[in-house]
A and B are shown apart, each in its own frame.
Chain A
Amino acid sequence: MSADQTQPAAVGDLPGRRRVAVVTVGVVFWTWLSLRWAYHNTVLDAVATALGVPDLIRSETAVLAREPWLPTAPFANAAETLTAVGADLGPLGLVAEWLAWPFELTAFAIEGGPAMAAGAFITVYLTLASMVLGLAIAVPLSVARVYGGWLVRHISLAYTELVRGTPLLAQLFLLYYGLPLAEEIEGLGFVGEGAVPRAAVFVAIVGFTINSSAYQAEYIRGALQSVDSGQLVAARSIGLSKAAGIRHVVLPQGLRYAIPGWTNEFVYLIKYSSLAAFITVPELFRQARIIASDSFRVTDTYVVVAVLYLALVLTTALAMDRLESAVAVPGLGPADER
């Protein structure tokens, strides 16, 4: 799954002004996304209403009916003017049309932005939840694989190969349409009420967690195996049990080695979370499909969506870069390989 990935760690190395530019774009993007989320949040709406400002938050607005905060008219007008000018220019009109396209696209993006923000927000928490839960499974899985006895080693191997060896979409369909998982979750009562997402979202998190845990386990296994075996021997020689030695000596080093691979998986999960669209989760890619089929502007829709995914991915790469240097230890880890 990582073969087509390039190392996404370059953003943090950018010098001075370019770095400021990247950070500014990031801050604007995340501010917009968070405000969009807050503006339509049911819980915040209830709080605001209780505080006596009932119109501050508009949680009742359906996703596709949400109003943009920027006017589309100036951009649409500019595009129209350019096109009109182009119509009189004969063959040169093509150039005017090209020049008009960015304005058209901007107007389109502003219009579709609120719905896409709602989707992007789901993409974010889908990815975060699945990464964290996946990690919680991947760590024991990889430890079992490297340090376990025959049986646990093979159970871990079987799990990993089964999950990695079958298509993610098939796994999601099995979970959503095959098993009664969605009904069970729906039966919990509070699911789908207020700010709690619908059952499909939970099924998607389960699916991505399972899938991601297998890939994360492979990255961590590799990292654990690169920890010098003398480290565990030394831990055991002062009286630590094998489990304590793994926990206090091997894992702190191995997990540091695993960060670049883990970043790769994180970035990948952001994008393959788009498969949740096929089990009705209204995340970014599904919003895009709805907008594209409503507007028939397929190219424009997917260009805007690509930019949004790119913003999510670059932010993640930047954050993981920060994490890597925050936990760096002299002489340890890929940043200081000798």
Chain B
Amino acid sequence: MSLLRLEDVEKSYGTEEVLHGVGFEMDTRDVDVIVGPSGSGKSTLLRCVNRLTEIDGGSIFLDDEDVHAMDENDLRRRVGMVFQDFNLFAHRTAVGNVTLGLTEVLDLPSGEAHDRAMEYLDRVGLAEQADSYPAELSGGQKQRVGIARSLAMDPELILFDEPTSALDPELIGEVLGVMNDLADEGMTMLCVTHEMGFARSAATTLTFLDDGRIVERGPPEQLFDDPEHDRTREFLGDLTEIH
């Protein structure tokens, strides 16, 4: 039984079709990496999974439960998300960012929420910055707080929406380090990223999405070294050259 299953998912914005029948499955502890050119629908696909965007056709199942039959807040408690531009709560400290979901969604008492938040900040190496406001943190630190905020909710799956794309090159490493640790610990992750090194080393499955369709999906070695489609070879070849 798969943790997440997409069947024939379709999505349009007005007359512009973004996803044309996307379907795949992933299991618990899988690290699924989606790559594709910009505008291919990668981010939209992620946002459909936790219903920040509603799909127009097809279905999405979490643990065999149709996500559209679920309460959206329950769904989002079970599926975390990390954003490209962090979206940390600007008026709350690092630890305050993590505790908000704990006290308001999981109803933990504030002392317990604080302890748990500190635990997760420590896990991403930011216990000392707990009382800093987002404006006082570097991009890499912000993103690690973003990961801690999501992780602290104890989700079954975390969606990563280009988590390193807004970072200066020298800060990417610290975020990828945290993501690698998570992958090693068996966290289930669905990642949209351009980090080919991460895709090659950490992904259990790599998906190449182009123009709202899955062109190719399989083990990363296969897509990198022996892709079935020329389009995949072209895209991954280009990216690997850059990085």
The chain A residue sitting closest to B93, CB to CB, is A329
C-alpha gap A336/B153 in the complex (Å): 32
A238 contacts B76, C-beta separation under 8 Å: yes
- Say yes or no for B150: interface residue by CB 8 A criterion: yes
A331 contacts B104, C-beta separation under 8 Å: no
* Of B80, B90, B104, B105, the contact of A253 (CB 8 Å cutoff): B90
B153 contacts A234, C-beta separation under 8 Å: no
In the complex, which residues 228-247 of chain A have their Cβ closer than 8 Å to any Cβ of chain B?
228, 230-231, 233-241, 244
A233 contacts B87, C-beta separation under 8 Å: yes
C-alpha gap A240/B100 in the complex (Å): 9
The chain A residue sitting closest to B72, CB to CB, is A236
Known A233-B52, A330-B135; judge A238-B80 contact (CB<8 A): yes
B104 contacts A252, C-beta separation under 8 Å: no
Q: Which of B87, B88, B105, B153 has the most CB of A within 10 A?
A: B87
Known A241-B73, A248-B104, A331-B136; judge A234-B83 contact (CB<8 A): yes
* Of B77, B85, B87, B135, the contact of A239 (CB 8 Å cutoff): B77
B85 contacts A330, C-beta separation under 8 Å: no
Chain B residues whose CB sits within 8 angstroms of the CB of A236 once the complex forms: 52, 76
In the complex, which residues 109-154 of chain B have their Cβ closer than 8 Å to any Cβ of chain A?
133-136, 149-150, 153
Known A234-B83, A331-B134; judge A239-B89 contact (CB<8 A): no
- Give the shortest distance, in Å, between A207 (CB) and chain B (any CB): 34
- Say yes or no for A306: interface residue by CB 8 A criterion: no
C-alpha gap A234/B86 in the complex (Å): 9
In the complex, which residues 2-16 of chain A have their Cβ closer than 8 Å to any Cβ of chain B?
none
* Of A228, A238, A256, A331, the contact of B100 (CB 8 Å cutoff): A238
C-alpha gap A104/B81 in the complex (Å): 73
Known A234-B89, A253-B90, A330-B135; judge A240-B105 contact (CB<8 A): yes
C-alpha gap A239/B88 in the complex (Å): 15
Chain A residues whose CB sits within 8 angstroms of the CB of B164 once the complex forms: none
Would you give the 0/1 interface string for A103-146, flagging 1 where the beta carbon is closer than 8 Å to chain B? 00000000000000000000000000000000000000000000
Known A239-B73, A330-B135, A332-B135; judge A244-B104 contact (CB<8 A): yes
How many chain A residues sit at the interface, stated as a range, is 20 to 34
C-alpha gap A292/B81 in the complex (Å): 68
The chain A residue sitting closest to B82, CB to CB, is A237
- Say yes or no for B50: interface residue by CB 8 A criterion: yes
Q: Which of A234, A236, A244, A252 has the most CB of B within 10 A?
A: A234
Chain B residues whose CB sits within 8 angstroms of the CB of A238 once the complex forms: 76-77, 80, 100-101, 105, 149-150, 153
Chain B residues whose CB sits within 8 angstroms of the CB of A248 once the complex forms: 100, 104
The chain B residue sitting closest to A247, CB to CB, is B104
Q: Which of B83, B88, B100, B134 has the most CB of A within 10 A?
A: B100
- Say yes or no for A249: interface residue by CB 8 A criterion: yes
C-alpha gap A240/B90 in the complex (Å): 16
- Give the shortest distance, in Å, between A80 (CB) and chain B (any CB): 62
A231 contacts B80, C-beta separation under 8 Å: no
The chain A residue sitting closest to B77, CB to CB, is A239
- Give the shortest distance, in Å, between A236 (CB) and chain B (any CB): 7
B90 contacts A239, C-beta separation under 8 Å: no
- Say yes or no for B168: interface residue by CB 8 A criterion: no
Chain B residues whose CB sits within 8 angstroms of the CB of A235 once the complex forms: 89, 100
A331 contacts B73, C-beta separation under 8 Å: no
B80 contacts A329, C-beta separation under 8 Å: no
Chain B residues whose CB sits within 8 angstroms of the CB of A332 once the complex forms: 90-91, 133, 135
- Say yes or no for B17: interface residue by CB 8 A criterion: no
A330 contacts B149, C-beta separation under 8 Å: no
- Say yes or no for B66: interface residue by CB 8 A criterion: no
Known A230-B83, A329-B133, A330-B133; judge A239-B91 contact (CB<8 A): no
Known A233-B52, A330-B133, A330-B136; judge A240-B87 contact (CB<8 A): no
C-alpha gap A169/B77 in the complex (Å): 52
In the complex, which residues 309-338 of chain A have their Cβ closer than 8 Å to any Cβ of chain B?
329-332, 336
Chain A residues whose CB sits within 8 angstroms of the CB of B153 once the complex forms: 238-239
Chain B residues whose CB sits within 8 angstroms of the CB of A234 once the complex forms: 83, 87-89
B52 contacts A240, C-beta separation under 8 Å: no
B134 contacts A249, C-beta separation under 8 Å: no
B80 contacts A249, C-beta separation under 8 Å: no
C-alpha gap A273/B186 in the complex (Å): 65
Chain A residues whose CB sits within 8 angstroms of the CB of B77 once the complex forms: 238-239
- Say yes or no for B74: interface residue by CB 8 A criterion: yes
Chain A residues whose CB sits within 8 angstroms of the CB of B80 once the complex forms: 237-238
Cross-chain pairs A/B with CB under 8 angstroms, 12 sampled: A230-B87, A237-B50, A237-B76, A237-B150, A239-B73, A239-B77, A249-B91, A256-B91, A329-B90, A330-B136, A331-B134, A332-B135
Known: A233-B52, A239-B73, A239-B101. 10 other contacts (CB 8 A): A228-B87, A231-B90, A233-B87, A235-B100, A237-B50, A237-B52, A237-B83, A238-B77, A249-B100, A253-B91
